[in-house]
Amino acid sequence: MKRNTWQREAVRTALGSNEGFVSAQSLHSTLRDTGSPIGLATVYRALADLAVEGEADSLQSLEGESLYRACTPGQHHHHLICRNCGLTVEIEADAVELWAQSVASEHGFTQPNHVVDVFGLCAECTAQVRPGR
């Protein structure tokens, strides 16, 4: 049976208090900095579990690192992510869902999956990069 430990809860809380996507390593550092003696392997396991249970979203950074974020459970959605500060907006895209389905079946593909992420500079970071322009 699955057991409740303060470690899992600590990871859940730390993830929830974060605006954007974070890596297991940086989340572990954050927890350690706040005095938690949690182990790195436990953070990895907790994040993987949360992702399976639908409580966390995960994606691969452009460098191949796995990143996690507290997620609105239940509904399928995608993300608009600031490349600079990590600010993330959950977006729904019914049109894209349908498109993915149809393009797969048009080519005889079954059991379609898709990866859809939009990256950019958020309004705030845009203002910082081009001040007064």
Partner DNA sequence: ACAGTAATGAGATTCGTTATCAATAATACA
Partner DNA sequence: TGTATTATTGATAACGAATCTCATTACTGT
In the complex, the residues that contact a copy of itself under the rule CB under 8 A are: 60, 62, 64-66, 80, 82-83, 89, 91, 93, 95-96, 99-100, 103-104, 107-123, 126
DSSP designation for 54: T
Residues 6+ apart with CB under 8 A from 21: 57, 59, 61, 67, 68, 69, 79, 81, 86, 88
DSSP designation for 10: H
Q: Which stretch binds Zn ion (CB under 5 A): 30-38, 44-52, 54-62, 124-132?
A: 124-132
Q: Cβ atoms within 10 A of the Cβ of 92, count?
A: 11
Structure tokens at 44: 């990895």
Closest distance of CB 100 from DNA, Å? 25
Q: Which residue, 7 or 126, has its beta carbon nearer to a copy of itself? A: 126
d(CA 116, CA 120): 14
Asked whether position 27 contacts DNA by CB under 7 A, the answer is no
The answer to whether the CB of 49 falls within 8 A of the CB of 8 is: yes
Q: Which stretch binds Zn ion (CB under 5 A): 27-35, 53-61, 110-118, 125-133?
A: 125-133
Asked whether position 111 contacts DNA by CB under 7 A, the answer is no
Closest distance of CB 42 from a copy of itself, Å? 20
**Contact residues for Zn ion, defined by CB under 5 A:** 82, 84-85, 87, 122, 125
